[in-house]
Amino acid sequence: MKTLLSISLLLLGFWFCIRWVSISLASDAFLADPDTYRLLAIELSTHGVYGANSTPTAFRPPLYPWILSFGVNAGHELSPVFIKSLHSFLGAATCSLAFCLTLFAQKMLWPTRFNVFDIRDSLVSRRHGDLFRQVIAPFTAALLVAIDPILVRQSQLIMTETLATFLAALTLWLMFRAYCDPTPSKLLAVGIGIGLSVLCRPTAIVWGGLFIGAFLLGRFAFESSMKLSRRRIGWCLVAYVLGLLCFVAPWGLRNQIELNRWIFTTTHGGYTLLLANNNSLYDHFEKTGSRNWDDTTFQAEWSTRTTGLNELEQDQLANSMARNVIHQRPLLFLKSCFIRLAWLWAPWPNQSNWIVRTGIGVWYGLVYAAAFLGAAISWRQYGGLVKNPILIPTACLILSLSVIHAVYWSNLRMRSVAMPAICMLASIPISFATNSKATFRK
């Protein structure tokens, strides 16, 4: 056990160093504050108010700024070293979770061939060939996460993606365990994971809803023991809701007290809906699906329309304007949904020089291809989707992102939370290939 713990800590330190170096290489790391998280953290630390100029806000989710507030020094400045250490640790922890996800996945797919306890036995007996076979795929998944272009770039910015990706990987691991052996305590942990994720990226609520729906459908449709099983499932559902509300409800109560409205997500949703559904962008979509949209006209109009409005009024106005555009131009809305999906999952970015874009495109193309193959292997092993403890949580995550960002604003960074899951799927073919006796369940 001590040897296994030592290796785990060594790997964690290795991932930490990779992320630390990748952040250090960026000359513009933590200089900009595009979403005002630095400002919110300083205001929270200095005045005890989550807002700007001592005015409470719910425009941004609170978890990330709250964590950043611990890095504000006596001079009321957010320490760059604190952010760098935080992002490096979260990045390293995400890599470790990708390792655990893949280890768990290959144990579920080939229970007689891949076992976490075999790793310990290999360490004791020095059967290095068996150890290599056990860890090559998990190590590959962790390495893919460590050098993923989106995750590396986002770790250099004061934005939520690094924390949100860590929480998504942690919640995914909790979902794996809960789907295999549902107990109230495990579903409580899943609810807590979703609750924390909502406080970082509110779109996680859709993922949680899809997962619990798939969980209930699968269990009620395929459980053989009736009364006891259904009672247990009922308690699991109660535990899940309680875990979710433990973190989301206090945020909603705070907003009711400060803003006189129950808001469990943010007041930012209306703007992101309008940003994705406005006449200027739709005019652009009539000509091309390019991501190089000039939003000058839109921003000028929005600035004029919102003069003198508070954030609640701005959120209502944005939602109303977006719905009007969708209603008036339904065919363009349908077309824009497909374009935004293409933006979300595009292998290459629309910025930087062509060499970098091509390199990143090839990278993600290979990862996507391996992930599709891994999903097919997992599907074949379980003979479908409903009983599959690997594909159900992963598919719910990917589907939730696709559904949300087909309607709301979309770009590459929005898919960052799914990258550990995709890297896990991409490593499954390696598990299959390195196991010479791998067989499919009949």
Does pTM surpass 0.85? yes
53: DSSP letter: T
| Backbone phi and psi for residue 224, each to the nearest 5 degrees, phi listed first | -90, -40
Give the residue with greater pLDDT, 296 vs 224: 296
State mean pLDDT over 358-368.
96
Residues 273 and 320: their CA atoms lie apart, in Å, by 10
- Each residue's pLDDT tens digit, 171-217: 999 999 999 889 999 999 999 999 999 999 999 999 999 999 998 88
Q: Residue 417's pLDDT band (boundaries 50, 70, 90)?
A: very high
H-helix or E-strand spanning residue 55? strand 55-56
Look at residues 305, 304, 291 and name the one whose alpha carbon lies nearest to residue 349: 291
Q: What is the pLDDT, as a whole number, of residue 223?
A: 56
Residues 170 and 188: their CA atoms lie apart, in Å, by 14
Q: Which sign does the torsion angle of CA 274, 277, 280, 281 carry?
A: positive
Look at residues 421, 372, 412, 356 and name the one whose alpha carbon lies nearest to residue 150: 412
CB distance 416 to 150 below 8 Å: yes
Q: Residue 227's pLDDT band (boundaries 50, 70, 90)?
A: very low
State mean pLDDT over 357-379.
96
- Residue owning tokens 């993600």: 364
Q: What is the pLDDT, as a whole number, of residue 225?
A: 44
Asked whether the predicted pLDDT for residue 99 surpasses 50, the reply is yes
Q: What is the pLDDT, as a whole number, of residue 110?
A: 82
Residues 334 and 40: their CA atoms lie apart, in Å, by 37
